[in-house]
Amino acid sequence: MSSHTAATLIGARRRDSLVAQLSCTTSDTATVIAPFSGQPLHELPQSSISDVQDAAASARLAQRAWQTAGFAHRRTVLLRAHDLLLERRDELLDLLQTETGKTRGQAFEEIFQAASVSRYYAVSAQRVLATRRRRSGIPVLMTTRVSYSPKQLIGVVTPWNYPIALGVMDIVPALAAGSAVIQKIDNQGALSMLATREAYIDAGVPAELWPIVAGPGSEVGNAVVDSCDYVCFTGSTPTGTRVGERAASRLIGASLELGGKNPLIVLGDVDPAKAAADAVYACFSTMGQLCVSIERIYVHESIAAEFTREFAARVDALIQTAALDYSGDVGSLTSAAQLERIQAHVDDAVAKGATVLAGGTARPDLGPFFFAPTALTDVTADMECFANETFGPVVAITTVASDDEAIDRANDSEFGLNASIFSGSILHARRLADRLNAGSVNINEGYRASFSSVDAPMGGMKNSGLGRRNGPEGILRFVQSRTVSQSNGILQLPRSGAEFAALVGLMITLLGVLKALRRR
């Protein structure tokens, strides 16, 4: 299928129906480009600050009824949305490919993730947020329970690279908890996210409960932060830091998934050919435009030559295409800005002495933003791609002499989002995993083992972010805990000096008994 056909698959009437979902009253628009062709895809309306404020007010009103409807109702709605996502997957895959330039297989990963998250929180929210007894200060005499109430309005700011998966991973747990959501989408992934929202609305989520706005982050994004009770942001570390500071100034919480310079350690006991094949996918899925994508490989010297040879051969054999089917291994970069950044990193590295093992050049013969997946060696600290996030299809391979050297090099970064270890011994890999400063560590996989584990928390250390999505942690972000304690009337607690004098000995004895019984 030609790139021109790919860019025009979405009819004008369908685009208009999706865009009509935006909370927008202005006449301002932004041009969205189709990556495969470089041609304008559509004009996306841009929201104003007042649009955000009005949408937030309506969402807060809708939230009351949504919370009152209860867990069983929300479970039914989210499970119905799960089914609609799968039923509508062909259109969603077309939209994702057309807006982001990724392959159909990598687009499918987003649909799979969105459905998994919807199912997980539909069936787990009530259990995680159930009222539970906690140990009281004085057992028997008092009883303590902890309950949860949803924060009323959650702000979610989503990126262009994984618009559906990264949006749903924050939005669905908020909805499951009983919160409303106001979402600021990136222009480039707008249609994909609007079509996803449509599935949830058709499943029974009130439209007013989940408004979507679009526009400049400096205006519309800030207005979202200013309107909500908690904010989720996925994007660059500099922007995420500003979002966190703005949230902190209002004394609201924030979860921030930010940049990464993710390492992969290849130990000497692996099959070099298999490890190379797995590593290629870990590096070049979605053309490396993925927060958890591998950008640094540290391979043990005993297999370095064979691994590197196999890796380069695998990279050269990748099928790069704009086809809207499963024939491609890698697709296009998403924008001219991405192409410029990747080309600059590669040119800088080569100029300073790096060796290109594979790729290294743009592919205008395929489309305006195509760039050949690139493997480098001899990358040194003075190169832009050494420590800075490239966020593209460029990986540096370095030979190491020992496990300790590999761990030290992997941890030598301001980032700590994702890491990976390839080993023939799971036990050995687990021991090394405990030494890595990363929020997620994958063994014999690049990122998909942890990324798909929706029951486990996902997030970064160091400059890679704050907070966690997924798992119980992912929904507990969106609730306030409330402690309710009662005196059971068995014994009057002391209120005067004389009453304290009479009971101090008994209370000291109680503390000793609790310690002896190892009671909390």
Catalytic residue ranges: 257, 291
Beta bridge partners of 257: 234, 465
DSSP per position, 67-127: HHHHHHHHHHHHHHHHHHHHHTHHHHHHHHHHHH---HHHHHHHHHHHHHHHHHHHHHHHH
* Nearest C-alpha neighbor of 371 from the set 327, 397, 323, 337: 337
Using the structure block, give the residue that is written with the tokens 């695998």: 314
d(CA 347, CA 205): 49
Beta strands 465-466 and 132-134, pairing class: unpaired
The percent helix, strand, coil of the chain (3-state, each to 5) is 45, 20, 30
| Axis crossing angle, helix 163-177 with helix 104-128, rounded to the nearest 10 | 10
Using the Cα atoms of residue 395, residue 399, residue 403 and residue 404 in order, give the sign of their dihedral: negative
d(CA 370, CA 102): 11
Q: Which two tokens stand for residue 139?
A: 């057992």
| DSSP secondary structure code for residue 221 in this structure | I
Do 109 and 96 touch, CB atoms closer than 8 A? no
Half-sphere exposure of 299 (CA within 13 A, CB side): 23
d(CA 157, CA 214): 10
Residue type, 180: A
d(CA 155, CA 226): 9
Q: Which two tokens stand for residue 282?
A: 């870990």
Using the Cα atoms of residue 262, residue 267, residue 273 and residue 275 in order, give the sign of their dihedral: negative
Cβ neighbors of 79 (< 8 A, separation 6 or more) are 118, 119, 122, 123
Do 194 and 66 touch, CB atoms closer than 8 A? no
Do 393 and 288 touch, CB atoms closer than 8 A? yes
- The terminus-to-terminus CA distance of the chain in angstroms comes to 65
- What number of residues does the chain have? 520
Decide: helix, strand or coil at residue 317.
Answer: helix
CA angle 144, 147, 150 (to 5 degrees): 160
Ramachandran quadrant class, 133 (left: phi over 0; alpha: psi -120 to 50; beta: rest): beta
Long-range contacts, 506-512 (Cβ 8 Å, 24+): 507/138, 510/138
